[in-house]
Amino acid sequence: MDIVEFSIERIQSLYENTVDYNLSDSGVHPYTLRELLDAEQINQLLDVELGYGWTNGGVELRQSISKLYKDKNADNVIVTNGSAEANFVLVMGMLNPGDELVVIVPNYLQIWGWAKALNVKVVEVPLREELGWLPDMDELKDAITPNTKMISYCSPNNPTGSVLPQETLEQIVDLARAQGIYVHADEVYKGSELDGNEGPSIADLYEKGIATNGLSKAMALPGLRVGWLAGPKDVIDRAWHCKDYTSITTSSVSEFAANIVVQPQKRSEILERSRTILNQNVATLDEWIKQNSENYSCQLPQAGGMAFVRYSMNINSTDLVHRMRTERSIMLLPGDCYGMDGYIRIGVGAPSDHLKAGLAQLHEFTRGLND
């Protein structure tokens, strides 16, 4: 099997822990267990048996997650080891060689890469910067053929931070429903909308809608490694069939904590913290962009822990990021990872002092590059 390198993850795994200023992350600065749980919950955690659980996720946790959606129950949810495994078992369960998958890009590209490895034909439809990083619906319509099995998008979007409005989502659903096509949405940044207006899930808008979500990004808990799929029972059953071949179960410790944080009050508390951090940091980035407008420009994110910044220097984005890393100990993500040279992704979910210090180093680097 020929698997394309997952460059987003590879470059981060190689370098993000080797620099002084890691601005490559796309999530919100994580909690510690002490910050997340109260004393009673921590004491309960110590009594959790470290055995195997349900291979599709504990019943109580699946029931709790299902309440995040309309008209769903535990059978409409499978719990996975991070949202990455959710995407993996979705592709394995739903797509076959010869199927066509329409992917709205830029995107996290995990599904894009794994589908290609399975000899699925991947058709790309771009988000248009001139449209506010939204798709041209005529282009999406033209990409659909009789062989199209699924449409996949990421909203709030990685890397642009754009959010597909409900009107656009409904147009996507109309196109899919007319052809009997599944629609998949990566929704791991859902709830981090800077204006506090959390958008609808595709799992609620469409009977053949499938949502990937988890605790890693908007919820600021990547270390728990808890993700899930929510959607039609037949899709969830196929994913479960595949999960029996992968990680078997999720961690009993992580499931205990996850069931606490997906409860409405705690989830609301966590998302409020995320939005506070992001709003403060996006304002910081906005001011920095204005001060460095001769070299950088950006349509500021509406959600999520990152901004997709265009630069004007005559240098390849991967080369630029490696120079920043070696010369100033700053880690960013190059647009090359998304097939979009001329951009860099800057994380805005870090503590504010860390972001400010990293941006100061980036300013000094740029000034030296232009001297």
Residues 255-311 pLDDT 10s: 999 999 999 999 999 999 999 999 999 999 999 999 999 999 999 999 999 999 999
pLDDT reported for residue 138: 98
What ranges in the chain are assigned the alpha helix state H?
Answer: 7-15, 33-36, 39-45, 59-66, 82-94, 110-117, 137-143, 166-179, 202-205, 233-243, 252-261, 264-291, 317-328, 352-370
Contacts of 85 (CB under 8 A, 6+ apart): 227, 243, 246, 247
Determine the average pLDDT of the residues in 334-348. Answer: 97
Is the per-residue pLDDT at 346 higher than 90?
yes
Is the per-residue pLDDT at 370 higher than 80?
no
Determine the average pLDDT of the residues in 37-42. Answer: 96
pLDDT reported for residue 368: 83
> How confident is residue 371, by pLDDT bands cut at 50, 70 and 90?
low
Same-domain pairing of 242 and 303: no
CATH code of the domain covering residue 137: 3.40.640.10
Whether the CB-CB separation of 323 and 337 falls below 8 Å is answered with: no
Same-domain pairing of 291 and 310: yes
Cα–Cα–Cα angle for 67, 35, 353, rounded to 5 degrees: 110
Whether the CB-CB separation of 348 and 285 falls below 8 Å is answered with: yes
191: left (phi over 0), alpha (psi -120 to 50) or beta: left
- Is residue 39 in a domain? no
Question: For residue 360, what is the DSSP state?
Answer: H
Question: For residue 245, what is the DSSP state?
Answer: T
pLDDT over 90 for what percent of the chain?
Answer: 96
Note the pLDDT tens digit of each residue in 135-184.
999 999 999 999 999 999 999 999 999 999 999 999 999 999 999 999 99
Closest CA to 308 of 92, 204, 154: 154
- Is residue 323 in a domain? yes
Note the pLDDT tens digit of each residue in 86-124.
999 999 999 999 999 999 999 999 999 999 999 999 999
Cα–Cα–Cα angle for 70, 141, 160, rounded to 5 degrees: 65
Domain that holds residue 328: 7-32+267-366
- Is residue 163 in a domain? yes
Report how far residue 4's alpha carbon sits from residue 53's, in angstroms, rounded to the nearest whole number.
Answer: 33
Closest CA to 251 of 56, 81, 87: 81
Amino acid at 320: L
Same-domain pairing of 191 and 153: yes
CATH code of the domain covering residue 310: 3.90.1150.10
> How confident is residue 37, by pLDDT bands cut at 50, 70 and 90?
very high
Same-domain pairing of 228 and 312: no
Contacts of 95 (CB under 8 A, 6+ apart): 101, 115, 118, 120, 149, 150
For residue 263 the two structure tokens come to 């409860």
- Is residue 133 in a domain? yes
Count structural domains, the chain. 2
> How confident is residue 4, by pLDDT bands cut at 50, 70 and 90?
confident
Determine the average pLDDT of the residues in 57-84. Answer: 98
Contacts of 87 (CB under 8 A, 6+ apart): 110, 111, 114, 186, 212
